Amino acid sequence: MKQGIKIYLPLAVNELKRHLAYKGAFYLWIFISLFSSFISYFLWMAVYGSSDKTALGGLSQNEMVVYIFMVYVILADGFEEIEAIEPIDILRRSGVEVQTVSIMDTLEVKGAHSIKVTADISINNIDIDKMDMLFLPGGEGYQLLDASNEVHALINHAVAYGKYIAAICAAPSILGHKGLLEGKKAVCFPGFEEQLTGAEILNSAVVTDGN
């Protein structure tokens, strides 16, 4: 009996380790999916959920049916696929005009899990006058977004003209580095809190504060 325990106990431990690793990956997938869904809901509410005419370019909620709301989703190599594609899918199903924008040298952008996406336009071809919302996905690509002068110019324009800005996962740190979250409620991927300079960090899946 003792010999049997010696033989099978290591096997049981290894099975337990594999099981826990699988559960960890599964729970991480669930967290990312829920977080992306909340962001998608926030984006949808920003477009259709407000009755404030000034917040929606002087149009009431009833008048929004004839207003083309433009969202630019900025992509860089290493972007988290689920954080970009799922919101794009939901917004387009809702009738919102969405254009994916590459900051790379080509329109092809490679996600964090090697999924390649062909963007609609390059960042140099954005019609900034049509921009109603700027959306920054997370993933490792947030560092390239933060290093892009063109991305910072778009953020500056959005702030100056009262346009909406949405950021997910690590991307809120870009806004924090610019001092745009001072006194604002915010949330980010765990571990990036210190980069949200001056923000009130909430333990929520999604947070809205102003535009």
| Cβ atoms 81, 140 nearer than 8 A | no
Decide: helix, strand or coil at residue 202.
Answer: coil
User: What are the backbone angles phi and psi of residue 52, rounded to the nearest 5°?
Assistant: -80, 115
| Cβ atoms 185, 207 nearer than 8 A | yes
169 tagged catalytic: yes
Which listed residue (84, 155, 169, 206) is catalytic?
169
- DSSP code at position 65: G
CA 17 distance to own-chain centroid: 32
Spatial CA neighbour of 164 closest among 38, 70, 76, 26? 70
Catalytic residues: 169
